[in-house]
Structure 1
Amino acid sequence: MDDQKIAKNRRPVFFTLANGSGLEGEVFLSLYEARRPGPQRVGELLNGRETFLPVKTAAGTLHLNVANIVRATTPSAEELHELMTLGKRYHVGITTLCGQEITGDIFVDLPQHRSRVSDYLNRPNRFIPVVMPGSVVYVARKFILSVRD
């Protein structure tokens, strides 16, 4: 059976869940991304079609329901790429339904007549990347109470 395994990259992620708990583990990423050159990123995994994500934790593999992830934090060294920082930079403060405050930068790379923060937030992605020093935080849109720019 081992020869049938698909090679994957692992990336450390800290999840904050809807019940307020935290979970530290590794997610499994494809070596190649279908829509652009290079390996898959955590953001692409979170915004994909899967409902459950396998997460390797110290206690074993847990299948995490994506609908209950408030935020996912991963180191920027491997996650951040130049396409994520194209466009106009906005420094924002995000308040989640759990009362958490997330402060960082978003980059809006949309046509000039639709390049406001609100235009960016209204895109169909489930998770919005926020760039912070040393990490990228993906915030679930459905758990966002407000965004200050």
Structure 2
Amino acid sequence: MQLVIFKIREEFFGVEASKVLSINDMMTVTKVPNAPSYIKGLINLRGIIISLFDISILLNLNHNSYDNSTLKDSSIIILDIELEEIGIMVDKVDEVIDIDPNLIKRSIDTKIPFVKGVLELNFKLITVIDINKFVPKDSEVS
């Protein structure tokens, strides 16, 4: 299994490389009125309108979400989630690695449903994200 490793502030995260469509520099974000706080807005990527998620909020990281001063230095990872494209904001894309999926230890924190588990690699603790759980199914939307 290949993982794309990225940083948000000082923490490392990973997503399955098979879900990554592209990695882009920050671009113009159009705000969406009344959107949840974790939706930064919409981006236009080659004519396709994509929702941009601030996953630092979804992951309950103990720091401020992205603001205008940190936004310009961020990157966007475009992901394919069950035939829908979304963007996630990250500070830096670190590397792409091959790992044995058995090295991922299941997370004991069930409060965050997006976390698949953790991986210790090269003295880094990497939180592996289950990216399919970011977008609710039609039946879960009320």
Q: Taking structure 1 as the reference length, what is the TM-score of the superposition?
A: 0.26
| Greater RCO structure (CA 8 Å; 6+ sep) | 2
Q: Which has the higher helix share?
A: 1
Kindly name which structure, 1 or 2, has the bigger radius of gyration based on alpha carbons.
Answer: 1
Q: Taking structure 2 as the reference length, what is the TM-score of the superposition?
A: 0.27
